[in-house]
Amino acid sequence: MTIAYEPAKFPRQWLPVDASLETWPEIEPWYRKLEEWQIQGAGDLLEWMKAKDELDAAVSQVSNKRYVSMTLKTDDPAREAAHLDFVRDIEPNLKPIAQNLRNKYLESQFRDDLPKGQFVIMDRALENRKSLYQEANIPRETRVSELTQQYQKLVGAMTVSWHGEERTPAQMAPLLEETDRATRVEAWLIVAMRRLKDRQRFDDLFDELHRLRVEIGRGAGFSSFTDYSYKNRERFDYGVAQAEAFQNAVAEFVVPLAREIHAKRKLQLGINQLRPWDLSVDPKNRPGLRPFTEESKLASGVGEILNQIDPDLAAQFQFMRNQQLLDLANRKGKAPGGYQTTFEEDRVPFIFMNAVGMDGDLRTLLHECGHAFHALACRSVEPAAYRESPMEFCEVASMSMELLGAKQLDAFYDQPDANRSYRQLLEGIVLILPWIAQVDAFQHSIYLSDEPCRDRRRESWKALTERFGGDVDWSGIEDVRDHSWHRQLHIFLYPFYYIEYGIAQLGALQVWKHFQSQPQEAVNAYKQALALGGSRTLPELFAAAGAKFDFSAETIRPLMELIGQELARIPD
C-alpha cells in the first residue's frame, strides 16, 4: 500500500499574507514593530516570540531561495546580484535589530514565568550569541560573505577540455574509474593542473579570509580565532581537547585500516606504487559502477531504497519530488558540492547536488535525504530555534541514512555490483575519517598565527598528509598534494566546520550496528531522535538515536573492528 505524505500548513498568523519581504524597506517596519511591542506578562512574551519566529522564517526563506537560485546558476548575473543584495543590504541591517530583539527577550522580567525547562537549550544559545555580537564586526562579516561567494564562483566556473569537449571537474570524475590507467592519469592530471592554475587566486582569497576572521575573533574579545570559532559554533559539549583526542584516535586506529585497504588495492591492481589516479578505479579492473544515466532514475531508485527502509520516509521523499524540491544533476555554472536547505516559512526542505551517474551519487542523495527527513520530522516543533539541531547531530541524520540504505540496491544493481557498492561505502568511511581528522588538524594549525602564511600552510598540510594519508605515492606531483586543501570548501566557507562529520559518522555507525540486529527498532529510534530537533543536548540527542556521544579511542576502536569484520564478509 502506498503511503501519502501531506505536511501540515503553517499559515501566517501575525504577518499579513500579502506582506512582501524582498527589500530592506519592506522588512524593517515589521522588525520595528517587534522592537516596540509592549510585553506585559508571560502570555505577551510567548505571543511576541511566535511573531518573531514567523517574521524570521519569512525573511530566512527569501534569503535561502536567493541562495539556492544563485547556486543553481552561478554564471547568471541577475541571480548573483539578488543574492549579494541580501548579503550586502539586508543582512547588515538585520544584525543590529536581531541583537536588540535577543536582548529584549533575555532581559524580559517575564522569562521566569515561562514554562519551566522548555527554553533552557534555546536560552543557552541566545546568551552565547549575545556574548559574541559586536556591531563593529558586521562589515567584516559582510566582506567574508562576499569572499566566500567569490570562492564558489571561482570553483563553479572551472572547466577543462577533454578531447575537444568542455567538462566540469565533477563530469571528469567518472573517468577516474576507467580501467585503462593511461586514461585515468590523463583525466586526473588535467583536473589537477586546472585547479593548480588557480592556486594564486585561492591563496589570495584565503589570506584575506584569514585576516578578517582573526579581526572578527579579536573584535568579539577572543585571543584566538580558534576560541572564537568554538563559541560561535556553539560547541557546548566538547572542546579542543576532545578534537585532539579524535585526531589521535583516528591516527591510531583508523589510519592503519585505511593503509591496509590501500595495500590490498595496490596488490589487486598489480602495481608497485599506488598513485592518486588509482584510488577510484575498481581494484579488479572492472568497469566503474554506473547506476543511472538520468536524474529521474536516480530519484526513482532512491525512492525504492527508502521504501524498503521505511515507507513513511519514502512518502516524504515522494512529496519532495512532487513539489520539485530536488535539483540533482551536474551542469556547467552550477555551484560545487551538495547541500540540503530548508525554506523556513513553508518548513520544507530542498536538496541540491551534482550527480554525474556514479555510485557516490546514490550515497549523496541518501545523505541529503537524511537532512531533509530531519527538517520534516521537527517542522512542528516550537519554538523555531528547536527546529535546528547541532551540526554534529544533523550529520548523524544524514550519514545514518547512507548506511541504512547500504544494501537495498536492487533498483540499481545486480547482487555482485551491489556488493561492490556496499564495500565502497564501508571502505569510504574508513578512508574519509583520516581526511576529516586532517582537515580539522589543519584548521587548528593555520589559526595558531594571526597572520596568514602560505609557506606555513603548505608545510602543515604536507606534514598532516604524511600523518593521516594512506599508502599513496605523490612523487612528481607534490605541488598538487600540498595545495589539495583548496578543494575542501569548508576551509573557505565554514571555518572549523568539518570535525562534525567525523563525530556524526561515529554516531551513524552505532545506528547502523543497531539496525543490523534490530532494523525496525533502530529506524524507530532514529525517527524519534530526529523529531526532537534541537531541543536536547548533544549527548541526549545521540542517546535518543541509540548512540553514545563519544569520539575517543573507546568508541572508534570497536567500530573500526566492526567495519573490518564486515568487509571480510562481503564477497569480493
State pLDDT tens for residues 74-115. Answer: 999 999 999 999 999 999 999 999 999 999 999 999 999 999
For residue 206, what are the contacts with CB-CB under 8 A and spacing of at least 6? 452, 457, 491, 492
Do 405 and 431 form a contact (C-beta atoms < 8 A)?
no
173 CB contacts (<8 Å, ≥6 apart)? 280, 356, 358
At residue 288 the predicted structure's pLDDT band, cuts being 50, 70 and 90, is: confident
Q: Strands (DSSP E) along 269-389, which ranges?
A: 326-329, 339-343, 348-355
- pTM for the predicted model, two decimal places: 0.89
Predicted local confidence at residue 572, as pLDDT: 80
Q: Reduced to 3 states, what is the DSSP secondary structure of residue 401? A: helix
pLDDT of res. 209: 97
User: Is residue 68 within a helix (H) or strand (E), and if so which, with residue range?
Assistant: helix 42-72
Cβ–Cβ under 8 Å, residues 56 and 344: yes
- What amino acid occupies position 262? H
Segment 322-373, tens digit of pLDDT: 999 999 999 989 998 899 999 999 999 999 999 999 999 999 999 999 999 9
Helix (H, G, I), strand (E, B) or coil at 161: strand
Residue matched to cell numbers 520516509 = 313
In sequence order, the 6+-apart residues with CB closer than 8 A to the CB of 362 are 291, 298, 301, 302, 305, 405, 409, 412, 421
Question: Quick check: 223 pLDDT over 70?
Answer: yes
Mean pLDDT of 542-564: 96
Distance, CA of 363 to CA of 347 (rounded, Å) = 24
Distance CA 454, CA 457 (A): 5
Query: Cα separation of 413 and 247, whole Å?
Result: 36
8 A C-beta contact, residue 542 and residue 235: no
pLDDT > 90? residue 546:
yes
Map grid coordinates 554525474 to a residue: 356
* 121/236 Cα distance (integer angstroms): 10
Compute the distance between CA of residue 207 and CA of residue 209 in angstroms, rounded to an integer: 5
pLDDT averaged over the chain? Answer: 95
Model confidence at 1, pLDDT cuts 50, 70, 90, reads low
Range list of β-strands (E), 18-78: none
Closest CA to 341 of 377, 368, 319: 368
Is residue 255 scored above 90 in pLDDT?
yes
Residue of 477, 553, 476, 556 whose CA lies nearest to 509: 556
What pLDDT is stored for residue 367 in this prediction?
A: 96
* pLDDT given at position 58: 98
Task: With cut-offs at 50, 70 and 90, classify the pLDDT of residue 216.
Answer: very high
SS3 category, 58:
helix
Q: So what's the pLDDT on residue 145?
A: 93
Question: Residues 561, 412: contact at Cβ < 8 Å?
Answer: no
Cell of 175: 573517468
The pLDDT tens digits for 441-490 are 999 999 999 999 999 999 999 999 999 998 999 999 999 999 999 999 99
Phi/psi-derived region of residue 248, left when phi > 0, alpha when psi is between -120 and 50, beta in every other case: alpha
Do residues 537 and 236 lie in contact, with contact meaning Cβ atoms separated by under 8 Å? yes
State mean pLDDT over 141-149. 94
**Cross-strand bridge partners of residue 326:** 351
Q: Which set of grid coordinates corresponds to residue 39? A: 510585553
- Residue 336 pLDDT: 84
What pLDDT is stored for residue 285 in this prediction? 86
Do the Cβ atoms of 389 and 534 come closer than 8 Å? yes
pLDDT for the residue 378 = 97
User: Residue 520 is placed in which grid cell?
Assistant: 525496525
Average pLDDT of the residues in 527-536: 97
CA distance 171 to 159: 9
Sign of the alpha-carbon torsion through 454, 459, 464, 466: positive
> Strand pairing of 326-329 and 165-167?
unpaired
Q: How does pLDDT run across 392-417, given as a tens digit for each residue?
A: 999 999 999 999 999 999 999 999 99
Strands 326-329 vs 348-355: parallel, antiparallel or unpaired: parallel
What pLDDT was estimated at residue 2?
64
**pLDDT tier for residue 170 given thresholds of 50, 70 and 90:** confident
Where exactly are the structural domains of the chain? 24-116
Task: Name beta bridge partners: 165.
Answer: 162
| Residue 434 CB neighbours (<10 A) | 24
Task: Give me the pLDDT at residue 337, please.
Answer: 85
CA 135 to chain centre: 28
Residue 302 has pLDDT above 70, yes or no: yes
**Model pLDDT, residue 393:** 97
Half-sphere exposure of 110 (CA within 13 A, CB side): 14
Mean pLDDT of 217-245: 96
Q: What is the pLDDT of residue 184?
A: 97
